[in-house]
Structure 1
Amino acid sequence: MSAHRSLVLLDLRGTGESAAPADPASYRCDRQIEDVEALRVHLGLDRLDLAAHSAGAALALLYAARHPDRVARLTLINPSPRPVGLDVADSDRRELAELRQGEPWFPDAFAAFARIWSGEAAAADWTAITPFTHGRWDAASQAHAAREASQRNADAAAVYYSAGALDPEAVRSAAARLRARVLLVAGEYDVALPPKRAAEYAGLFPHAELAVQPGAGHDSVESRPRPARPRPGGDVPSRPRFARANHKTRALPPAVVVPAAPAHPHLHPRTPHHRANCGHRPAATGNGRGVETAQLTGVTAAPVPAAVSPASSSRWVCRWVLCSSVDTRV
Structure 2
Amino acid sequence: MPYFRTADDAELHYRVLGPAGSALPPLLCLAGGPGRDAAYLGDLGGLAGGRQLIVPDSRGTGASPAATDPSRYAFPHLAEDVEALRAHLGLARFALLGHNAGATVAQAYAAAHPERLTHLVLVCPGSRLQGELPDDAREIFTSRMHEEWWPRAAVAVQELAEASDLAEVRELLYTAAPLAYARWEAPQRAHAAAEGGQLGPVPRAGFWQGVAETTREAVLAGLRRVGCPVLVVTGDRDAVAGMRAGELVAAAFPDARVRPLHLVGHYPWVDEPDLFRPLVEEFLHTS
1:90-239 residue pairs with structure 2 within 5 A? Answer: 92-113=136-157, 115=158, 121-123=161-163, 127=173, 128-164=175-211, 167-221=215-269, 223-225=270-272
1:289-328 residue pairs with structure 2 within 5 A? Answer: none
- The ranges of structure 1 where at least 4 consecutive aligned residues each deviate by more than 6 angstroms after the TM superposition are none
Query: Against the structure 1 CA distance between its residues 93 and 2, is the aligned structure 2 distance closer, same or farther, given a 3 Å change threshold?
Result: closer
Whole-angstrom CA distance in 1 between matches of 2:115 and 2:142: 43
1:2-21 residue pairs with structure 2 within 5 A? Answer: 2-21=48-67
Whole-angstrom CA distance in 2 between matches of 1:109 and 1:225: 22
SS at match of 1:16: coil
SS at match of 2:257: strand
Residue 253 of structure 1: aligned partner = 281
SS at match of 1:8: strand
- Greater share of helix: 2
Whole-angstrom CA distance in 1 between matches of 2:178 and 2:212: 29
Residue from 105, 113, 122 that aligns with 1:67: 113
Identity of aligned residues (%): 34
- Give CA-to-partner distance per residue, 1:210-238, whole Å, 9 cap, x none: 111221111224x2249xxxxxxxxxxx9
| CA displacement at 1:155 relative to structure 2 | 1.1
Residue 84 of structure 2: aligned partner = 38
On the 8 A contact 1:51/1:57 being kept in 2, the answer is yes
Residue 77 of structure 1: aligned partner = 123
| CA displacement at 1:16 relative to structure 2 | 1.2
- Paired letter, 2:162: A
| CA displacement at 1:149 relative to structure 2 | 0.9
SS at match of 1:20: coil
| CA displacement at 1:175 relative to structure 2 | 1.6
On the 8 A contact 1:86/1:201 being kept in 2, the answer is no
On the 8 A contact 1:214/1:239 being kept in 2, the answer is no
Question: Which moves more between the two structures, 177-186 or 134-143?
Answer: 134-143
Residue 7 of structure 2: aligned partner = none
| CA displacement at 1:195 relative to structure 2 | 2.0
Whole-angstrom CA distance in 2 between matches of 1:99 and 1:133: 13
Whole-angstrom CA distance in 2 between matches of 1:150 and 1:144: 11
| CA displacement at 1:12 relative to structure 2 | 0.7
Query: Against the structure 1 CA distance between its residues 252 and 130, is the aligned structure 2 distance closer, same or farther, given a 3 Å change threshold?
Result: closer
Residue 86 of structure 1: aligned partner = 132
On the 8 A contact 1:181/1:207 being kept in 2, the answer is yes
Query: Against the structure 1 CA distance between its residues 121 and 13, is the aligned structure 2 distance closer, same or farther, given a 3 Å change threshold?
Result: closer
Query: Against the structure 1 CA distance between its residues 201 and 255, is the aligned structure 2 distance closer, same or farther, given a 3 Å change threshold?
Result: closer
Whole-angstrom CA distance in 2 between matches of 1:252 and 1:107: 35
Whole-angstrom CA distance in 1 between matches of 2:69 and 2:87: 24
Structure 2: give runs of 5+ residues left out of the alignment: 1-46
Q: Which has the higher contact order (CA 8 A, sep 6+)?
A: 1
